[in-house]
Every structure is written in C-alpha cells, then in structure tokens.
Amino acid sequence: MTEFAPGFLWGASTAPHQIEGNNLNSDFWASEGRMPGMERSGDACDSYHRYREDMTLLADAGLDSYRFGVEWARIEPVPGMISRAELAHYRRMIETAFELGLTPVVTLHHFTSPLWFAQEGGWLGDRAVERFRAYAEAVAPILDGVEWVVTMNEPNMLAIMIGMARALQDDPHAADAWLSPTVDNEGPRPKTPAPDVKIGERLVEAHHAVREVLRERTGAKVGWTVANRAFVARPGAEEKKRELEYIWEDLYLEGSRGDDFVGVQSYSSQWVGPDGVEPHPQHPDNTLVGTAYRPDALSIAVRHTAEVTGGMPILVTENGIATRDDTRRIAYTDEALKHLRAAIADGADVRGYLHWSLLDNYEWGHWEPTFGLIEVDRETFERRPKPSLAWLGETARRLRG
C-alpha cells in the first residue's frame, strides 16, 4: 500500500465567519437579515474566544494541522483603519497552533468581506485588487513562521455568490431564489448558476497581486483553493464536460500556475450530459446538503487538478460529508482516503489532508447540515468530540510515513 510521505499534514479546516460569531462588519452578516429562509450566524460556535479549546481537541486526537482563517472585516472595519488588536488576536491563534504542535494553514479570505468593501463595488469595484492587496500587506507581519497561506477560498464558488449579489441589486425579488453555496438541492429551487468568467478573471488578478505581496513579505508557501466538481461525462458528453470544467474549475486552476501549491476541496461528483450538469436526483443515500454519496470524488478531483496544473503540489484543504450519522462520516472518509492513496500512487503530489470540518458550524445560511468532527452545543458552546475525530487521529498515526 502507498504510504503518505513524511511531513504529510493531517488535520481539519474551519472558516472564521462560520465559527467565530458576531462578525458584525461583514457583508455576509448584513445579508443574513435580507434573504428569505436564511438563518443567522449569531454567536456561531464562539470560536473567537474558544479557539484554544478547539485546537487542543484537534492536537490531542493525534492530528497535526489546522486550517483557519483571518477575518478581513475585523482587521479593517472601515477603509484604511487597521485594528492592531485584531491582528494581535490572530497572531495569538497562530502562536497557539505552534505551541500545540499544529501546523497552521491560514486563509486570508473565506467568502466574507468587509461591508464597506461590498458597498463600494466589492470584487467588481475599481479598487478591489488594490484593497485586497493592502489588506494582505497589513496581515503579512503576523504570518511569521507560517508555512502555508491560502489567499482566497474557492474563488469559483465566490464568483457564483458575487453573481447572485449582482442579480439581487438589479432585482430585489431575486432574494426569493437565494442559493446557499453549501446546500445543493434544497427543495424546489433553480439550478446553481455557473461562475461568471469575467468575475473569475478579476479574482485571478486579485490572487496574483496578493501572492506577490506574500512572497515579498513572508516565507510562506502561497496558493488558493478551488471547489472541485469532479465532473464525469456521460457517453458522448466529453466535449460538454471540458467546456464546463473550464468555466467551473480550470480557469481557477490555471490561475494557480506559479503558486507553491493548490488546495483541492472535494465532497461529491456530478454527471455531465450533452445538455450540461445533471442535477442530483433525490435518493436516500444523498447527504444533508443534497449531494450524492461519492467518496471517490476526491480521487477524481485530485487527478484532474494535477493534470491541469502540471503536477503542482496539492493540499486537500476540504473533504467531508454532511451527515447526522458519524458512522457514515467515518465510512465516507475511510473510502475517500483509499481513493486519495490511489491517486498518490499514480503520481499526484499530495502534501496533506484537512477534513471539513473540525466543528459543526454555520453552513452559510443553515445550521442543519453537520460536517463536523466535533458537535457544538449552540447554547452552552460545549464541545463534544465525535468518534470520527479519534478515528481520524488514529488513522493519521497509522498512515504517517
């Protein structure tokens, strides 16, 4: 059996808005009160205050890496005003990871932006790239010793969210068709739109600008993460699959060329027919977010990413399943790792596996989908590790090269 290389990272991932709570100055916080059917994040998991407990549970389980984000809306609540206290807060998180023997993988932007940034045009505004670059310059000093930095999470999904926000500006009734970036088939709803290529090109430009800043001012490896659809073509639909892969993924994977690594984020797979992406049919095996149970998707995603990027180093920065049944979570992850090992055996340069998610958290408008290795009581914030956390830690110990 293929062994994972020495130094392979084993851990879990989170996003600040989903776990910290009370991200009052962010665009997503503002939108939570506007979209029908969207639940509020509120206190979330109160990880802003309880991050040491979260990291300790991760480390005590035998895992050695934690991917977390810094929140732009906290660091720069109004244009040009940088909060030294917030920078110090996130530096303490980094130092806590070091203290506990965890390798931090730090994400600078995970879907959410300051509200003022959105109000001046967001990623399509004239100053968007300049603003993002200035934010990265402010954060760079606290990244001393950090080996892995993600500039932006899932720009292809962010492009969809930006497109929907534009539609809402043009038509207030578009809020009725609001789509969570997490939930795939939530009752009668329109099909998820494809990312707008023009928006994607702007995000690539922003990524390259911040990559330059981080290379000038830190010693970190720099990359970004891409939501991988793991498309599989029906007979005769190969050309349609290639067309959709460019729009959905390859624009962003090609944008990662020249990076130090690229993040693969994989949950399920989708069929592509002659007419396009086929929606997931209703099925008892579907996950809580409506996606098909496809642990083999991780191998499809890793292989496709390696092919498009020319063998670039890969971090699996997210992989998991929305389920209430933790036994099913273990089964899914175990099979996904077997497929990952097969991809590595075939030559994919994979440097780590970070499970999504460490905690049951706020899934972008919904609390019901549970991805976590740890359950969180939303009233007391008590952490209750699930068997999957210990299982993943033991698996990491067994498979370390």
HSE (CB half, 13 Å, CA atoms) of 73?
A: 24
Q: Which of 401, 394, 382 is nearest to 61 (CA)?
A: 394
Burial of 236 (0-12, 13-18, 19+ CB in 10 A): exposed
| Distance (Å, whole) CA 306 – CA 308 | 6
The CA-CA-CA angle for residues 327, 332, 337, to 5°, reads 125
Burial of 65 (0-12, 13-18, 19+ CB in 10 A): buried
| DSSP H/E element including 227 | strand 225-227
| DSSP H/E element including 264 | strand 262-266
| Distance (Å, whole) CA 260 – CA 66 | 19
Selecting among 32, 71, 76, 154, the annotated active-site residue is: 154
DSSP 330-356: HHHHHHHHHHHHHHHHTT--EEEEEEE
Whether 154 is a known active-site residue: answer yes
Query: What length does the chain have?
Result: 401
CA 237 vs. chain centroid, Å, equals: 29
| Distance (Å, whole) CA 143 – CA 151 | 12
Which stretches within 262-325 are classed as H helix?
Answer: 297-309
Pairing outcome for strands 221-223 and 103-107: unpaired
| DSSP H/E element including 393 | helix 387-399
Q: What are phi and psi of 147, to 5 degrees?
A: -90, -30
Instruction: Check: CB of residue 41 under 8 Å from CB of residue 32.
Output: yes
Give helix 197-217 / helix 128-139 axis angle, nearest 10°. Answer: 30
Residues annotated as catalytic are: 154
